[in-house]
């Protein structure tokens, strides 16, 4: 499991525009990387909309926001357009980043156990080191908690 102070695992994934986005391209800036289970589900939509609503504040602080799920680029296109999401949504169907960040875990829902993405947010500093890890975040307050941390 990753810890505060660890070097954040590098990734290069396609965003909702089909462009490659890597963590390395944000060197020198803080980056919020939030992992979420699925596009267009109630909690994930509330979380994305909260980040979209606070996006101006993140921009003022020169902080990049990246959402990652195992959904496809096509799914991200629809999700981003439907909710006017101004930040990168990265498709990780192979779970490369999801597993590197340790967020692919056993989950229990209504007594049923399955594997899935545990909603987790990472704040990465200008040198690419993990500054904060927020496991099992609440979708509605996650963006505000990160802004308070900044």
Burial of 120 (0-12, 13-18, 19+ CB in 10 A): buried
Residue 49 falls in the annotated catalytic set:
no
Cross-strand bridge partners of residue 33: 66, 122
83 touches 48 (CB < 8 A): yes
Q: Pick the catalytic residue: 23, 44, 90, 118? A: 44
* Whether the Cβ atoms of residue 116 and residue 31 lie closer than 8 Å to each other: no
Looking at the annotation, which residues are catalytic? 44
């Amino acid at each position: 499991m990753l810890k505060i102070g660890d070097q954040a695992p590098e990734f290069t994934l396609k965003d909702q525009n089909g462009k490659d986005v890597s963590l390395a391209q944000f060197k020198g800036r803080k980056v919020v990387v939030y992992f979420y289970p699925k596009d267009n589900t109630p909690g994930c939509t509330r979380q994305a909309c909260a980040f979209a609503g606070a996006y101006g504040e993140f921009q003022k602080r020169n902080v990049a926001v990246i959402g990652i799920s195992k959904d496809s680029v096509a799914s991200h296109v629809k999700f981003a357009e439907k909710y006017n999401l101004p930040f990168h949504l990265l498709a990780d169907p192979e779970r490369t980043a999801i597993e590197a960040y340790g967020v692919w875990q056993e989950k229990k829902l209504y007594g049923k156990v399955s594997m899935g993405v545990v909603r987790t947010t990472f704040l990465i500093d200008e040198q690419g080191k993990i500054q904060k890890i927020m496991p099992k975040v609440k979708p509605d307050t996650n963006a505000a908690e990160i802004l308070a941390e900044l």
